[in-house]
Structure 1
Amino acid sequence: MSKVKFYYDSDTLSYKKIERKKRNTVKYAFIFILASALFAFLFVFLASQFVKSPKERALVRELQHMELQYKLLNKKMDQAQNVLSNVEERDNAIYRLYFEANPIPEEQRKAGFGGINRYKGLEGFDNSKIIIATNKRMDILQKQIVVQSKSLDEIAVLAADKEKFLASIPAIQPVSNEDMTRMASGYGYRTDPFTKVRKFHYGMDFTAPRGSPIYASGDGTVTRADNTATGYGNHIRIDHGYGYESLYAHLYKYNVRVNQKVKRGDLIGFVGSTGRSEAPHLHYEVWKDDDRINPINFYYGNLSAEEYSKLLERASLENQSLD
């Protein structure tokens, strides 16, 4: 029950009841409600600035965790970049140089991405800057890895080809020192044993007992094993590829057939004295791009430095050849 209020009327010298007007009541109620709403809004606003809800605190922790993960990711990318830079340096300065391949330019290795904005979808967030920067680094690092991977694939092909090339070069003495009596005649002008005329001798003569083993001086394919070439008697030709060919003449007999694949050191025949020959020996020639060259330059595969020095000295003597 509401209280009844009175006021003192000085004119009548009496107390009179205060009559509340309905309009004033509505006005006061409206003012009260408005003031309450403003106060509540102000309270909520101030509270939101200084006091965070559990959901907001969880979001803040999640954001801090994300920022930490991005920092750790960038540190890992720094480490990966250092390792990749070291591989790139060795690739250019050692591998590609050794295999005679052009180094990959720096601008090609570390080129960015032109054209459209690849990161437009990452814009407009509170941490867009760190997210975009990290994604850019990741994309560039990924591209560098792809470039380096392709380079190593190329090096692997070159290495395999280089290995094949080194195995194919006629690089060993075709008659072993244990079987060889002596190196009778070298490459150069020599006296013909039949005409006694000084003429150019295009191979090296290794004297050895009849039947001594003859070995392929490099990997290749047998192209001839016959006696139809004038002067050579029973002879073998091996195509080593890369423009190289070797010839083994005056054989006693063969141990290979035409089109047979051989490896360096394989037994291909035996020393004899067939054809235009004065005594049992192997006449050995090396061809490069259809020109006969000095075989003395191709014995690094099975001779020591001392043995090679002695062979070089004997080969330089201008004596009589055996064919």
Structure 2
Amino acid sequence: MTNKREQSQAKRSFIPRLLKGLVWCGMILSWYIIIAIFVDMPSEHKLRHSTDNLQSEYEALSARYDELDGVLSNIEERDVNVSRKLFESNPYDLGAIDTRNQYLLQEELIGMSNEMLMARLKQDMEGVAHTLDKFSKSYDALRYAIESDTTARKNIPAIQPINNKQLTLLAAGKKPLINPFHRIEREHHGIDYLIPEGTPIFATADGTIESLSDQISSRGKAIVVDHGNGYKTSYGHLSKIRVKKGDKVKRGDIIALSGNSGLSFAPHLHYEVIFNNTRVDPIHYFFMELSPEEYKRIKQIALSSMQSFD
């Protein structure tokens, strides 16, 4: 009996101890959870502080990037205008990416910590800012030189040789096209405007009439104007010439009427721009009368052409 009584008492005393132990375990677990959620450990505090700093630096760099992007867009626009004024092609694309260098850069960046990446980004952006500043000053100086030299500007072809405000009269661009007579692809050295006979033809810059061609040549009746600065312009397949060799002309003067003379598939004007004895794309020389949007449009029209008219 005594043994049974002792066993019963032992069981009754064990249950409270078990409950008390469970309560303590629950309290300890609760405190641990509270500390884990609401209290930063030193390492976590350091990490959180580092993250906050990185966020602040990122926001500052993001604002700086937007600023540099605006500067770059402005420089690219000025670059296009200057290049189209002076050269026969568009400028180098500043957005072009060297994929090989990009791959090597990615490999290099993979092993960097966040702090190192932010430092690298900040350094690169400062370098870009310095480069953009030099570009901007260079373009400002170049623009001033161009605008101050009015004589040079007057002698650079800068308008279309006909009235083509709607941009609908351009029929063939400067590129390899199907020749209408030989039915094979041949290099087309200028641009063709599909216009009725008798349409007024304008000198596209100040200059001197260098030569006149007669009806017998493949170009038919044609005019070459020497602008005295390495530039010449040629106008072919005319019906009537209104100038003489040696005459001085100004931009916008009517020098001829269009026609269908020479080796011509249909009434049209064949127009060329020559710079230092090399035929260049005349479309790059319409900057005085075309907006950037109109330039893109007429460039696409030229690229979509398939056949020349001479």
Normalising by structure 2, what TM-score?
0.52
Residue 284 to residue 229, structure 1, CA distance change in 2 (3 Å): farther
Q: 1:240 deviation in Å?
A: 0.6
Match for residue 190 of structure 2 among 194, 199, 203? 203
On the 8 A contact 1:181/1:208 being kept in 2, the answer is no
Partner Cα separation in structure 2 for residue 225 and residue 182 of structure 1: 25
**Distance in 1, Cα, partners of 2:303 & 2:286:** 15
Aligned positions, number:
174
Give the Cα separation in 1 of the matches to 2:166 and 2:194. 9
Distance 2:300 2:277 in 1: 27
Q: Out of 264, 267, 270, which is 2:257 matched to?
A: 270
Distance 1:210 1:282 in 2: 9
Equivalent position of 1:257 in the other structure: 244
What are the superposed Cα offsets for residues 126-154 of structure 1, whole Å, 9 maximum, x if unpaired? Answer: xxxxxxxxxxxxxxxxxxxxxxxxxxxxx
Structure 1 counterpart of 2:210: 223
How far apart are the structure 1 equivalents of 2:213 and 2:269?
A: 15
Separation (CA, whole Å) in 2 of partners of 1:178 and 1:312: 14
Alpha-carbon distance between aligned partners in 2 of 1:178 and 1:291, rounded to the nearest angstrom: 28
Residue 141 (structure 2) aligns with: 97
- Correspondence for 2:266 among 279, 282, 285: 279
Between structures 1 and 2, the one with greater helix share: 2
The answer on whether the counterparts of 1:180 and 1:206 sit within 8 Å (CA) in structure 2 is no
Q: Distance in 2 between matches of 1:261 and 1:164?
A: 14
RMSD across aligned C-alpha pairs, in angstroms? 2.6
Q: TM-score, normalised by structure 1?
A: 0.50
Partner Cα separation in structure 2 for residue 95 and residue 320 of structure 1: 39
Residue 284 of structure 1 aligns to a residue whose secondary structure is strand
Q: How far apart are 1:226 and its partner, in Å?
A: 2.4
Q: CA deviation at 1:97?
A: 3.4
In 2: Cα distance, 1:306 partner to 1:95 partner: 22
> How big is each residue's C-alpha offset from its partner over 1:161-209, in whole Å with a ceiling of 9 and x where there is no partner?
x211111001100011169862110001000000111010000000111
CA contact under 8 A between 1:250 and 1:271: conserved in structure 2? yes
**What is the SS of the residue equivalent to 2:196?**
coil
Relative distance call for 1:295 and 1:94 in structure 2 (3 A) is closer
Instruction: Confirm or deny: 8 A CA contact 1:169 1:240 kept in the other structure.
Output: yes
Tell me the distance in 2 between the aligned counterparts of 1:266 and 1:320.
30
Answer with 181-190 or 191-200: which moved more: 181-190
Matches within 5 A, 1:65-104: 97-98=141-142
Determine if contact 1:181/1:209 at 8 Å carries over to the other structure: no
Structure 2: distance between partners of 1:313 and 1:176 = 19
SS in 2 for 1:320: coil
In structure 2, the gaps of 5 or more residues are: 1-136
- Structure 1 residues 135-146: aligned runs within 5 Å: none
Q: Note if 1:293 corresponds to 2:280.
A: yes
Would you say the 8 A contact 1:245–1:287 is kept in 2?
Answer: yes
Distance, in Å, in 2 between the alignment partners of 1:301 and 1:97 is 20
Taking every aligned residue pair, what percent have the same amino acid on both sides? 39
Larger Rg: 1
